[in-house]
Amino acid sequence: MRMLHTMLRVGDLDRSIAFYTEVLGMRLLRRNDYPEGKFTLAFVGYQDESEGAVLELTHNWGVSGYDLGNAYGHIALEVPDAAKACADIRARGGKVVRDAGPMKHGSTVIAFVEDPDGYKVELIEHKLA
């Protein structure tokens, strides 16, 4: 078995695709409309689906937002330098909600950004061995 994707429901698909591709640097891998079901799926990621897990962005037609609830946590991305990643994300119009610094009760450097629908994305600085 292997992890294929994580699905997020989004209110504005084009806005979300722009965030994940232009702000976080992922690629749009595929996008398909399902008129009978009144939804569109878009898959984004850093590598092809055959090589690693990706995000499935689901837009249900006619729905512009969702209640995120309190059970969902975040998506995590490894970055070489969390502070630089935050600066780059800000420069591309992204929202940093926690600047780079050591995690509470630990030494791993992390940061958090927020996508247009309010989903959190954790940036985890890669530790050199």
What residues are annotated to the active site? 122
Handedness of CA 88, 93, 94, 99 (dihedral sign): positive
CA distance 32 to 85: 30
Nearest Cα neighbor of 25 from 97, 100, 80 is: 80
Phi/psi at 70 (nearest 5 deg)?
A: -125, 15
Residue-level length of the chain: 129
